[in-house]
Structure 1
Amino acid sequence: MSQQGTPPADRPSAEAEPRPAERDRRPSGAGVLQDVLASSWLMTVCAIVLALVIGAVLIAAADPDVQRTAGYLFARPSDFFTALWQTVSGAYAALFQGAVFDWGATSPQRAVRPLTETLTISVPLILAGLGVGIGFRAGLFNIGAQGQITLGAIVASWIGFTWDLPPVLHLLLAMVGAAVGGAVWASIAGVLKARTGAHEVIVTIMLNNIAVFLVLYLLTTGVFASATPQVGRPVAESAMLPPLLGDAFRLHLGFPLALLAAVGVWWLMERSTLGFRFRAVGSNPHAARTAGISVPWVTVLVMAVAGGLAGLAGGAQLLGTERSLTGAIAGSIGFDALTVALLGRSKPLGTVLAGLLFGAFAAGGRLMQTRTGTPIDIVLVLQSLIVLFIAAPPLVRAVFRLPVPGARRRSAVEAAA
């Protein structure tokens, strides 16, 4: 006689069956990152629009004419709204003129110069963003692009002024050296994570600081030091990236190289076996390990590839525009690359477009400040707001009343269950 409390043999108990949330449980950080990367293009566009709207509010709030007319808003509201429109439209028009096309320029050359500046500034952002994006898709938070860019610039600078080679060969070896320098620097974090489990965020942040002090030290040595304090020896002309539109513009060969790198990353991640392993480890490392993929080895390779692309960004920055190594050679490119990768959802095409957008912000912000008096810090605020909204999809959905992806399908499944 069977006991009443014993479930039938052909029906397992509810307690013995793991819940879906328990089976697919992942670290919270990785889950948030995957939610961000899985968001749609509509979410990205809405995040940019929302950032521009808030930026318009800040621009208007800082303008003296808007503040003055707000004092008698209810007496003559037309004055307030006229000043508001002139302030915001003038600032964003100047931003566009400084980033894409200056219709008030006195010559065609000056009119198209803003677009070439945008393309030039976007080169290291695209390259470094591609490297950060590969890490994101493999489940790694590579925060060390800043240090990897610096190491790439150091190696490219040393090859550029010490070796005496023909022009094409000299440039090729300098860029390869930059990629190797960034790859080796990033591999330190990859090896430490694979062998000891050290978190890549902490390790790469520390490596960023080491890289900063390393370049400052090298600029005081006899090898790198020049007659100007804290400025390295200039790179030979044979190692410089040649200009694409002549000496009148700063746009150089690095831009088509960045586009080729984006195509290469697309092929790597979408068409190659190695890219499949990268994505498998990023999706579920336990399942990848069960399938025979060496997760530690993939971790090291991902960091090496990401660091190589960031090193190329440092090489392009040095050999394309700066020519001499300085302590601020990386600027904020490494940190901006994180935003570029998030905004582009770590996809090559999205990263290229995001790099162009941030290049436009950087190029147009200077003209916006010069012509309208709007602080250039507004550009940094816009970038920060875009990051905030990209990292908070529920907030953007709530503002624009967008449906939750898969909500109907999940409701149908729950109803059927």
Structure 2
Amino acid sequence: MKSLRRSVALGVLALVPLVSNAAEIKALRVWAGPDSTRAVFDVSGPLDYKLFELANPDRIVLDIKGSTIAEGVAAPPGKGLLSNMRIGKQGKGDLRVVFDLPQGVRPKSFLLPPADKFGHRLVVDLFPKTKATREVVKTIEDVQPSAGRKVVISVDAGHGGDDPGAIGKNGTYEKNITLAVAREVVKAIDAQPGMKAQLVRDGDYFIPHKQRYGKAREAKADLFVSIHADACPASCDARGASVWVLSARGATSEAARWLAAKENASDLVGGVSLDDKDDTLAAVLLDLSQGATSEASMSVGQSVLRALGKIGPTHRGYVERANFIVLRSPDVPSILVETGFITNPAEEKRLNDHDERVKLAGTIVDGIRNYFTQTPPTGTWFAANAGKYVPAEHIVTRGETLSGIATQYRVSVGALRAANSLATDAAVRVGDVIKLPQG
């Protein structure tokens, strides 16, 4: 276990790792997002440091013991919550880094061990001391009450900032591809009747996973879609898009966390607060919410995967499950879309092509639209227009029959059979794609 040094400055207590080794700062980067600013120091190994605050003017001081800075490494310009950064010698062989601030901040620092292409890193995060009230997406904007509200789709561009994600053979960063695709998905969603998008990350900065689905919950999103690009070792020639939903293990661990924390009065699950319920009732309510969310996630995942299969081969013929933290919202259906293998040169080239990204985004939105057409949430435009808007196809879900599908879209069973070349005694199965007569 690492020992901790306690240092006090102006009443501020800082806990920092105590490591005897000296280290060299090899690079320094600053990333600014809408909610925080991050400074990352690439260092040659573990180091001993202390971080404290000073006022009048506001600044953060970082003292690094027995360390040096590599030749050519300079303080980057200020961004976000950082006005300026200064680096100089402090005492015998120590470094002092001063963060000049436009306002008071809440600092957080930690050391990261080597991972992937990164070595040791010291991370300093700056958060505003007074967090402004976040504006909730208006889901009824520009829609007449009688027409029903728009469904809100929260679109998350994976990775960002100091986390590049996977890197293609030609040097493409996954974080850039995910943002470019996410922006196209947002455009395609906003162009659809009855749909409105929220872009979770709209720049080159990192957002912690829980904050990503937290933003979707704050926006009262009907669906959360996280965009990524897959990768495999250099010798692997895997290809194709894939769709993922949360595994049962991930859902169970998240349920345990929610029940332990009980969250707070304003943090609702499925519209119901848990903090004033006893443990048994809270567990039942959470289980009901998670069950409905998981079923909806799988249904929309199947619809999106089916749509993706029309523009190219998918990596698997089914929706996959994994314990991705970003999918753990207990009350917002969530899927993760791997848009292709960035480590496959052909797919890396495709993902770098603007027209291909537009087609990919449109296809993802086709799958989303088909899901909401089939399963319209109460009070939405899709519910108000049920039977009036006919998509190109319908994916059969559990318990459905051909006659029920015909009734839903106000067409005859005979027309459905003719459009799909189905024999009179043929039955439909879960996952079947039924073409719908148009006009």
Q: TM-score, normalised by structure 2?
A: 0.22
Structure number with the higher strand fraction is: 2
The higher-RCO structure (CA 8 Å, 6+ apart) is 1
Structure number with the higher helix fraction is: 1
Q: TM-score, normalised by structure 1?
A: 0.22
